[in-house]
A and B are shown apart, each in its own frame.
Chain A
Amino acid sequence: MEIISLKNLTKTYREDSIEVTAVSDITLSFAEGEFTAIVGPSGSGKTTLLNLIGGLDAPTSGEIVVNGTNLARLSSSQLTDFRLWNVGFVFQAYNLIPVLTARENIEFIMHLQNKPVHERRKRASELLQAVGLADRAKSRPSKLSGGQQQRVAVARALAPRPRFILADEPTANLDSHSAENLLEMMEKLNREENITFIFSTHDPRVMKKARRIITLEDGKVLRDEQMHK
């Protein structure tokens, strides 16, 4: 079932009065349960594409439809709500809230959704278990390794039960062992819970795990391959 549809998507920026095209006329669709890697060299438009899909940035032209909703028609506050209820973000630099514990970080977005305390607690415990950090629930980010922080970030992204997770270079700051563990965990969640993952990467380990690889170059789709595993 298709959940994201991009039609003739273009994004241009002005930098020092020079127009830069980050994403150029991209038409793509993503189905529920995909485990898709967007790859390409630096500056190919991976992050811009993820930002557009996540409603963090507005396209210069073209259309982004998520679950039948055209994001271009949403106001700023509606977009905030859209992100809160539909998208899970995993950032390259983890971006956890340093003064909150792992559990509180995971609960935070559910709090923004006004979920009741008992539901938040239950879901956070489940996710800490799922990412293998049940014993680090009360640790603050500064007491966790990079790999553990990124696991918490994934758990936080999953907490509000979003329609899909967007991960921008999730393994870029991790050592190979942590990256391997994180990928296995994400793949497991995708396989067992049918959670849609779209991530940008140029990490070959991530590409190996992906079932679909979209290659970008100069803001255009160079290849869109289904990997048979």
Chain B
Amino acid sequence: MILSLAWKNIWRNKPRSLIVVFAVAVGLFGGLFSSAIFIGMVDQRLSDAIRNEVSNLQIHHPGFLSNREIADTIPGAQNVLRQLRKDPRIKAVSERIKIIAMASTASGGAGVKINGVRPENEMKVTALQMKIADTSGSWFTSGRKNTIVVGQKLAEKLKLKLRSRVILSFQSVNGDIVYGAFRVEGIYKTYNTSFDETNVFVRNDDLAALAGLQSQQFHEILVSLYNDNTTDQVVDSVRNTFPHLETMGWKELMPDLGLMAEYTNAWLYIILVIILLALSFGIINTMMMAVLERTREIGMLRAVGMSGKKVFLMIMSETTFLSLTGTLAGIIITVPVVHYFQLHGLNVLMFAKGFEDIGFAAMIYPRLDADSYAGLIALVMLAALLSSVGPSRRALRLRPVEAIRTL
């Protein structure tokens, strides 16, 4: 009956309660939707980074990533590849030669990372071939030797077109500066312009010959998994199997992204806590008013034998019901809106350049899990509990004999 009384009490002053419900609903919608956008952006960035840039994990010669020495190839690479292909968690592996070089054209030059790949293996690990538009060439399908796939940003910078010639110069394994001329076969475009500007792809065999490496020598093995969530486990088992090599998961390879992924939920809760904190003041004010208006009635309840505990329960229930009604309204608004944009995407093309400069797509697919809503409800309950302390204390401080006399 206390709960039923509490529910009825909040509707005594309908306009006031509805304003609070509306404020809570709109505030939480804002918080949830902005969080959903942020989570969607991080999802896309992670997905792009894993699919196009670093894959789930990479294996190198120890020290290669810090020194970039061309001679630091993976010892026994063929054996490593063979072992990895036996692991049922691994979808595909791709081996790369990686060399820092200078790309030059008649229009200028730029520092680049050359990725010497086996195109057919690379296609199974990264999705770069999908990032080449129909009019922008192909992913090594011409069959010609010494062709190169460059990013659109680099192409713009060096004024490269399909079949343009680009000279790559770098230090070979012998220490000589070597030059190689490559024809542009494809121009890719990811959502990460800095990646597009610095990474070029050539055939492994073409690069090995120029660099003085054997055809079985590689600097990097990329590993793609069936399930992204098993990355840490696979990293551990690869480390155990090949302790002499350096194995790193995407979180270590891109620590900024790892951190972002780690803290997306924390971000959501930080936003919600700030919003709830602001809303709590409104809720406390409303409940203080409600207690003040019902001074005589609360005095009567105390007079007829309602314990302080039950008065507290009543006020706390009113605060909770009021907050939860607003929360449910907020969730009812948020769920279909997030669902709609999750399916159709939220187009922010006007900010595309800015977004892509930092690696994010201009089409965002917001996402929120059921856990986020459950967490929100728990937070609201907590906020309601804390918000009810002040009004309840005020109610409990009333002396029945004085409160009854109040007009």
Taking CB atoms, residues of chain B closer than 8 Å to A81 are 305, 307
Interface pair B12/A109, CB less than 8 Å apart: no
Q: Give the interface segment out of A96-104, A130-138, A215-223.
A: A96-104
A87–B302 CA distance with the chains assembled, in angstroms: 12
B296 — nearest CB in chain A belongs to which residue?
Answer: A95
Interface stretch of the complex, out of A1-9, A49-57, A175-183, A188-196:
A49-57
Which residue from A56, A100, A113 sits with its C-beta under 8 Å from B401?
A: A56
Bound complex: CA A100 to CA B308 (Å): 20
Q: Is A73 at the interface (CB under 8 A from chain B)?
A: no
Annotate B292-333 by CB proximity to A: 1 below 8 A, 0 otherwise.
Answer: 000011001111111110100000000000000000000000
- Interface segment among B1-9, B30-38, B370-378: the answer is B1-9
Q: Which residues of A contact B40 (CB under 8 A)?
A: none
Given contacts A99-B9, A108-B1, contact A85 B305 (CB under 8 A): yes
Is the beta-carbon distance between B300 and A95 smaller than 8 angstroms?
Answer: yes
Q: Which residue of B lies closest to A95 (CB)?
A: B300
Q: Nearest Cβ in chain A — how far from B322, in angstroms?
A: 15
Residue of A nearest to B407 (CB): A93
Cβ < 8 Å to A, chain B residues 44-83:
none
Do B12 and A84 touch (CB < 8 A)?
no
Task: Give CA–CA (A109, B307) in the complex, Å.
Answer: 11
The reply to whether A97 and B297 contact each other, CB–CB distance below 8 Å, is: yes
Kindly state the separation between the CA atoms of A112 and B302 in the bound complex, as whole angstroms: 11
Bound complex: CA A223 to CA B5 (Å): 45
- Chain B residues near A80: list those with CB within 8 A: 302, 305-308
Instruction: Provide the bound-state CA to CA distance between A93 and B303, in Å.
Output: 14
B404 close to A112 (CB less than 8 A): no
B400 at interface, CB cutoff 8 A? yes
Output the nearest chain A residue to B307 by Cβ-Cβ distance.
A80
A70 to B11, CA, bound (A): 42
B306 touching A100, Cβ below 8 Å: no
Q: In the bound complex, do residue B304 and residue A84 qualify as a contact, i.e. CB atoms below 8 Å apart?
A: yes
Q: How large is the interface on A (under 10, 10 to 19, 20 to 34, 35 or more residues)?
A: 20 to 34
A91/B404 in contact, CB under 8 A: yes
- Nearest-CB residue, chain B, relative to A48: B401
In Å, the complex CA distance between A111 and B307 comes to 12
Residues of B within 8 A of A104 (CB): 1
Residues of A within 8 A of B2 (CB): 111
What CA separation (Å) do A156 and B306 show in the bound complex? 14
Q: Which residue of B lies closest to A157 (CB)?
A: B304
**Bound complex: CA A98 to CA B300 (Å):** 12
- Checking B297, B305, B307 against A95 with a beta-carbon cut-off of 8 angstroms, the contacting residue is B297
A97 touches B304 (CB 8 A): no
Q: Does A121 contact B (CB under 8 A)?
A: no
Q: Which residues from chain A contact B310 at a C-beta distance below 8 Å?
A: 112
**Is A209 among interface residues, defined by CB-CB distance under 8 A?**
no
Residues of A within 8 A of B297 (CB): 95, 97-98
Q: Do B401 and A97 touch across chains, with their CB atoms under 8 A apart?
A: no
Q: Is the CB of A199 closer than 8 A to any CB of chain B?
A: no
- Could you tell me if B5 and A100 are in contact, using CB atoms closer than 8 angstroms? yes
Does A77 sit at the interface, judged by CB under 8 A? Answer: yes
Contacts of A164 in B (CB 8 A): none
Taking a contact as CB atoms closer than 8 A, the residue among B5, B303, B404 that contacts A97 in the complex is B5
Cα A85 to Cα B12 in complex, Å, equals 30
A191 → chain B closest CB, angstroms: 25
| CB proximity to A under 8 Å, residues B1-23 | 1-2, 5, 8-9, 11-12
> Which residue of B8, B11, B306, B400 contacts A112 across the interface (Cβ within 8 Å)?
B306
In Å, the complex CA distance between A85 and B5 comes to 21
Chain A residues with CB under 8 Å of B9's CB are 99
By a CB distance below 8 angstroms, the chain A residues around B296 are 93, 95
Could you say which residues of chain A place their CB within 8 Å of the CB of B301?
Answer: 97
Min CB gap A199→B, angstroms: 16
Are A99 and B300 interface neighbours, CB within 8 A? no
State A131–B145 Cα separation when bound (angstroms).
105
Is A107 close to B, CB under 8 A?
A: yes
Query: Given A83-B305, A109-B304, A109-B305, are A99 and B404 also a contact pair (CB < 8 Å)?
Result: no
A160's closest neighbor in chain B, by CB? B305
Question: Does A91 contact B300, Cβ atoms closer than 8 Å?
Answer: yes
Q: Which B258-306 residues have a C-beta within 8 angstroms of A?
A: 296-297, 300-306
Nearest Cβ on chain B to A106's Cβ, whole angstroms: 12
Partner pick for A77 among B8, B303, B307, B401, CB 8 A cutoff: B307
B residues contacting A by CB (< 8 A) are 1-2, 5, 8-9, 11-12, 296-297, 300-308, 310, 400-401, 404
A-B pairs, top 6 by smallest CB distance, nearest first, are A84-B305, A99-B8, A95-B300, A111-B1, A56-B401, A83-B305
Chain A positions within 8 Å of B, measured between CB atoms, are 51, 54, 56-57, 77, 80-81, 83-85, 87, 89, 91, 93, 95, 97-100, 104, 107-109, 111-113, 156, 160
A-B residue pairs in contact (CB < 8 Å), sample of 28: A54-B303, A56-B400, A56-B401, A56-B404, A80-B305, A80-B306, A81-B305, A83-B303, A83-B305, A84-B305, A87-B305, A89-B303, A89-B304, A95-B297, A95-B300, A95-B404, A99-B5, A99-B12, A100-B5, A107-B1, A108-B1, A108-B5, A109-B304, A111-B1, A112-B305, A112-B306, A112-B307, A156-B304
